Amino acid sequence: MESGRKVVVFGAYGHTGRFVVAELRARDCVPVLSGRDADKLRALAASGPGLEVRPASVDDAASLDRALDGAAAVINAAGPFATTAAPVIEAALRAGIPYVDVAAEIEANVDTFAHFTDRARAAGAVIVPAMAFFGGLGDLLATAAMGDWTTADEAHIAYGLNSWLPTAGTRTAGKVSRQRRNGRRVVYTNGRLEYRDDAPPLLTWSFPEPMGTRAVIGEFTMADVVTIPRHLSIPEVRTYMTSEAARDLSAPDTPTPAAVDERGRSSQTFLVDVVVRSGGAERRAVARGQDIYAVSAPLAVEAVHRILTGQTRAVGVASAGEIFDAPALLRSLSEHLSLELRQ
């Protein structure tokens, strides 16, 4: 991506949005700060020179058009995405620029594919939802693990988080998702999403060392069940979460993330262990890093870079593994995460 290009960050003052702004600045791009709260935008702009403020609301299409005017792309970091995704995508289509978001909400991502696939393809536009820790990273790892396989029987994505200090946005998005599915949980099985009323299973998962075998919540379903099946022929996609992280997320008094380093990252560490199986064969991809919110920023910014420099494999609405060279993109993020492929 050429230095000096303007990229609008909608929801710039949010927790993940701030990481996106910092990542863009580190790449010599010009982040344009946008969102509904003008005071918060101005406060963020005061933290560094040359930051432009363009307040906008999803209820005001004209304000979104003004925010995106002259920009090369837009990154939507403002949840809940059930509310923000469609209006910002519409504005991006009107502006003729790529759209990338960091949505972890299953239903919001389903909506993006359902409502915009045909229009975006016809317009030659690029829309990449869930380009974040949940949805994007798992999809990239599963795609990289598949290698030359065209189909597989099952994919398993196990999230080894040592803790989970959820942001206010995470809690709000989770509440919206639970309301939309009437409190039911969702799984991807037999090639489709199913909604269930029973409790998820309690299991163990053998993570690579040094994490080792841990208790996990089975069928702790995340956005990977939307992104992976969009382009990989895998009828069973299951995700798992370490029990301690799940407890942190559900506890009402768990604190929000606190910075422990110069990048603003929390002390949270992650290990994402992806296993794909076909017949009796098994392939694996593992990613390790620090802070699930912080790592979403380089994922989203790298996506914009690759779109603007023509390093894409599709147009329209596409998931990360579908539109990008998965191993190459993952390796480009070596400063932010480590990658191990076992094929």
Same domain as 143, residue 47: no
3-state secondary structure of 112: helix
Residue 309 belongs to a domain: yes
User: Are 222 and 93 found together in one domain?
Assistant: no
Residues 235 and 206 in one domain: yes
Count of the separate structural domains present in the chain? 2
pLDDT value, residue 2: 62
Q: Does some domain include residue 1?
A: no
**280 lies in the same domain as 301:** no
Nearest to 128 by CA among 145, 107, 103, 91: 103
148 and 286 belong to one structural domain: yes
The pLDDT mean for the chain works out to: 96
CATH number of the structural domain spanning residue 284: 3.30.360.10
Q: 250 and 109 in one domain?
A: no
Domain that holds residue 120: 6-132+296-327
User: How far is the C-alpha of 1 from the C-alpha of 72, rounded, in Å?
Assistant: 10
Does a structural domain hold residue 332? Answer: no
> Do 281 and 305 reside in the same domain of the chain?
no
Tens digits of residue pLDDT in 86-96: 999 999 999 99
In a domain, 243, yes or no: yes
Q: How many Cβ atoms sit within 10 Å of the Cβ of residue 216?
A: 25
Task: Classify residue 235 by its DSSP letter.
Answer: S
Element at 301 (helix H, strand E): helix 292-308
pLDDT in tens, 119-175: 999 999 999 999 999 999 999 999 999 999 999 999 999 999 999 999 999 999 999
Predicted pLDDT at 147: 97
Which pLDDT tens digit goes with each residue over 219-252? 999 999 999 999 999 999 999 999 999 999 999 9
The residues pairing with 239 across neighbouring beta strands, listed in sequence order, are 157
Pair (156, 247) in one structural domain = yes
Entry pTM: 0.97
Angle at the Cα of 193 from the Cα atoms of 188 and 197, rounded to 5 degrees: 90
Q: Is there a domain that residue 202 lies in?
A: yes
In tens, the pLDDT along 38-57 reads 999 999 999 888 899 999 99
Note whether residue 91 is domain-resident.
Answer: yes
**Is residue 3 predicted with pLDDT exceeding 70?**
no
Whether residues 147 and 282 share a domain: the answer is yes
237, β-bridge pairs: 155, 188
Pair 144, 269 in one domain:
yes
The values of phi and psi at residue 108, to 5°, are -65, -40
Strands laid side by side in the 99-101 sheet: 52-55, 30-35, 6-10, 73-76, 99-101, 126-128, 316-317
Type of residue numbered 332? S
Residue 176 domain flag: yes
Locate tokens 């906008």: which residue? Answer: 56
- 96: phi > 0 → left, psi -120 to 50 → alpha, else beta; which? left
Structure tokens at 319: 């998931």
Locus of tokens 């998820």? 200
Answer yes or no: do 281 and 253 share one domain: yes
